């Protein structure tokens, strides 16, 4: 029969004291299971993933994503919310431009330069500059090509500015939107390590367009070979930045889809360059003079050789 | 130097407009030649809100510039010069965007004040347009082009320097270049429209 004392709650002594009191008692020790953190698990599987972690900086990326969440906490109808997208200094913008022009092999543009502080200043003003640079350079190039021809009357071609603006801003905003939507969709199917926010993608695309500004100025030179070399060169530079940024995001996916995505990114980038070259810059004339055909009513017609 | 010359022009224009419109006085127009250098006056420029009536000056400048850019090779061909509406939109939309940009970057200047400064600094370019049209009446050869080029470049420099002097002061020091560049682009585009104006 249990006494009242037995029914009272008894504090259990420390295991060591109990054992000291009763050395022959059987003891069972329960250890906590060893937790393998995700990084190491990945490392055990594929040693090639190490550079991913270096690229991603997984340690501070968690921290910075937390900070990013804290930063943009102002409601979207206040002015302060939009000010967070312009929180860059001059040297940061210049660094980002440099990073987009000189791709460092193995380094990711977003993690290295943007670091969860995407800005809208760079994309917006680079696009604006590019629009006017292409329009002005195209106009100047056409002027120099057709200079000296008696039938040529110079026109400023102002219509082309609106067309250039529509094209370039559409590329800089709609393509990132489509890419972001696509990556989100794939993310729901395949667990990716890397995922970018919409603004980071806009940022990468905006800064990657910077190389086309000096390219457009150099396109004034009326030589076909020079122009195409410039296209290839600038495409390689900015294309490689884009590829190195987005490859880690699609690498875990089905091989074909990954390659198709990266291929589409480069293709659209190339299309923009070639399209601008074809539309805004007339083909340079060949060196021999155009034949003059006297028409039957006495006026001369000069045919243009394309 | 640029600030003095600009403030003198503003005084003259405002005196004209004050007589016709009866717009109230603001400290902007009371600047004399010596007062513009005084730091307290600069303080008052930046923080006194200007009434919206002060945008009449820029409006007059914008309309006259847009009118003078007409009569180019815009009537018959498609790819001509800018239409009236296009000039208008570029100037006002450009000024609004630059003002928004400087405020988003942390500037302390008020919205209307910045619009006003940018609008008034179109004045040298309007003068350049007038000179260009006069030179083009004389002829449109290489000499006239060189004269026009020099005039437009000089006026473009003046506009940019004058507006930068007013607007860059209200920015934190490590972002001044970020604010100055769009102003440069804005006046460059206007100068380009003026320089490439060809009469029919």
User: pLDDT per residue over A15-72, tens digit each?
Assistant: 555 555 565 555 565 544 444 444 444 334 344 444 444 444 444 444 444 544 445 5
Range in A121-130, A141-150, A227-236 with the lowest mean pLDDT:
A141-150
**For A163, nearest residue in chain B (alpha carbons):** B79
B189 touches chain A (CB under 8 A): yes
User: Positive or negative, the Cα torsion across A234, A236, A239, A244?
Assistant: negative
Q: Is A228 contained in some domain? A: yes
Question: Residue B148: its pLDDT value, please?
Answer: 92
Question: Residue A82: its pLDDT value, please?
Answer: 83
Contact A159 B178 (CB under 8 A): no
B192 touches chain A (CB under 8 A): yes
Q: Encode pLDDT of B109-122 as tens digits.
A: 888 888 888 888 88
Q: Is A46 contained in some domain? A: no
Question: Residue A6: its pLDDT value, please?
Answer: 62
Q: Is B128 contained in some domain? A: yes
Contact B79 A160 (CB under 8 A): yes
Q: Is B190 contained in some domain? A: yes
Q: Is B78 contained in some domain? A: yes
Residue A11 binned pLDDT confidence (cut-offs 50, 70, 90): low
Q: How many domains, chain A?
A: 1
Secondary structure (DSSP) of chain A: ---HHHHS--PPPPHHHHHHH-TTS-----PPPPPPPHHHHHHHH-GGGHHHHHHHTHHHHHHHHHHHHHHT-S-TTSHHHHHGGG---HHHHHHHHHHHHSPPTT--HIIIIITT---SHHHHHHHHHHHHHHHHHHHHHHHHHHTT-TT------THHHHHHHHHHHHHHHHHHHHHHHHHHHHHHHS--S----HHHHHHHHHHHGGGHHHHHHHTTS--HHHHHHHHHHHHHHHHHHHHHHHHHHHTTS-HHHHHHHHHHHHHHHHHHHHHHHHHHSPPPPPSSPPPEEE-TTS-EEEPPP-
Q: Is the pLDDT of residue A197 over 90?
A: no
Question: Residue B1: its pLDDT value, please?
Answer: 56
Instruction: List, as ranges, residues 58-97 from A with C-beta within 8 Å of B.
Output: 79, 82-83, 85-86, 88-91, 93
Question: Residue B154: its pLDDT value, please?
Answer: 93
Q: Which of residues A95 and A298 earns the better pLDDT score?
A: A95
CB contacts < 8 Å between A and B, how many?
Answer: 72
- Full-model pTM: 0.71
Q: Is B9 contained in some domain? A: no
Residues of A in contact with B174 (CB under 8 A): 89-91
Q: Encode pLDDT of B33-47 as tens digits.
A: 333 444 444 433 443
Q: Is B187 contained in some domain? A: yes
Q: Is A163 contained in some domain? A: yes
> ipTM for the complex?
0.72
Q: Encode pLDDT of A201-213 as tens digits.
A: 899 899 999 999 9
Identity of the residue in B80, B101, B189 whose CB atom sits nearest the CB atom of A155: B80
Query: The domain containing residue B110 runs over which residues?
Result: 52-195
Q: How many domains, chain B?
A: 1
Question: Residue B87: its pLDDT value, please?
Answer: 87
Q: Encode pLDDT of A239-276 as tens digits.
A: 888 888 888 888 777 888 888 888 999 999 999 999 98
**For A159, nearest residue in chain B (alpha carbons):** B79
Range in A142-146, A271-275, A296-300, B50-54 with the lowest mean pLDDT:
B50-54
Q: Encode pLDDT of B64-100 as tens digits.
A: 888 888 876 544 555 566 778 888 888 999 999 999 9
Query: The domain containing residue A234 runs over which residues?
Result: 79-282
Q: Is B65 contained in some domain? A: yes
- What whole-number distance in Å separates Cα of residue B144 and Cα of residue B103? 41
Residues of B in contact with A132 (CB under 8 A): 185, 188-189, 192
Q: Is the pLDDT of residue B185 over 90?
A: yes
Q: Is B28 contained in some domain? A: no
Q: Is B155 in contact with B126 (CB distance < 8 Å)?
A: no
Q: Is the pLDDT of residue A152 over 80?
A: no
């Amino acid at each position: 029969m249990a006494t009242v004392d037995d029914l009272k709650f008894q504090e259990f002594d420390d295991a060591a004291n109990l054992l000291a009191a009763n050395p022959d008692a059987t003891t069972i020790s329960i250890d906590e299971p060893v937790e393998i953190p995700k990084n190491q698990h990945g490392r055990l599987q594929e040693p090639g993933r190490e550079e991913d972690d270096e690229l991603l900086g997984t340690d501070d990326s968690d921290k910075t994503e937390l900070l990013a969440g804290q930063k943009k906490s102002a409601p979207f109808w206040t002015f302060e919310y939009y000010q967070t997208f312009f929180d860059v200094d001059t040297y940061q913008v210049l660094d980002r431009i440099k990073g987009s022009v000189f791709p460092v092999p193995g380094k990711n543009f977003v993690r290295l330069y943007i670091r969860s502080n995407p800005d809208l200043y760079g994309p917006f003003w680079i696009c604006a500059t590019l629009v006017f640079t292409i329009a002005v350079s195209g106009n100047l190039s056409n002027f120099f090509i057709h200079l000296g021809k008696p039938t040529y009357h110079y026109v400023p071609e102002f219509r082309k500015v609106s067309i250039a603006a529509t094209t370039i801003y559409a590329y800089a905003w709609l393509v990132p939107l489509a890419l972001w939507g696509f990556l989100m969709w794939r993310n729901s199917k395949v667990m990716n390590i890397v995922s970018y926010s919409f603004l980071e993608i806009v940022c990468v695309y905006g800064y990657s367009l910077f190389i086309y500004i000096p390219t457009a100025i150099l396109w004034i030179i009326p030589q076909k070979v020079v122009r195409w070399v410039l296209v290839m060169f600038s495409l390689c530079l900015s294309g490689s930045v884009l590829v190195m940024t987005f490859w880690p995001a699609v690498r875990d996916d089905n091989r074909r889809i990954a390659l198709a995505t990266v291929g589409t990114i480069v293709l659209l980038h190339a299309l923009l360059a070639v399209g601008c070259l074809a539309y805004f810059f007339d083909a340079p004339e060949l060196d021999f003079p155009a034949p003059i055909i006297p028409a039957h009513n006495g006026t001369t017609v000069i045919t243009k050789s394309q | 130097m640029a600030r003095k010359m600009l403030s003198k022009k503003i005084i003259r224009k405002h005196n004209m407009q004050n007589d016709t419109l009866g717009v109230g006085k603001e400290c902007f127009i009371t600047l004399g030649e010596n007062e513009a250098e005084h730091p307290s006056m600069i303080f008052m420029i930046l923080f006194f809100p200007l009434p919206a009536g002060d945008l009449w000056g820029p409006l007059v400048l914008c309309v006259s510039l847009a009118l003078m850019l007409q009569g180019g090779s815009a009537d018959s061909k498609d790819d001509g010069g800018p239409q009236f509406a296009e000039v208008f939109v570029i100037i006002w939309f450009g000024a609004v965007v630059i003002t928004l940009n400087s405020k988003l970057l942390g500037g302390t200047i008020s919205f209307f004040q910045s619009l006003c400064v940018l609008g008034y600094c179109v004045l040298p370019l309007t003068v350049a347009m007038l000179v260009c049209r006069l030179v083009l009446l004389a002829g449109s050869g290489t000499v006239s082009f060189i004269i026009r080029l020099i005039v437009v470049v000089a006026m473009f420099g003046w506009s940019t320097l004058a507006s930068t002097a007013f607007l860059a002061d209200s920015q934190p020091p490590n972002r001044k270049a970020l604010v100055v560049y769009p102003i440069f682009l804005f006046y460059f585009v206007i100068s380009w429209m003026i320089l490439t104006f060809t009469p029919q």
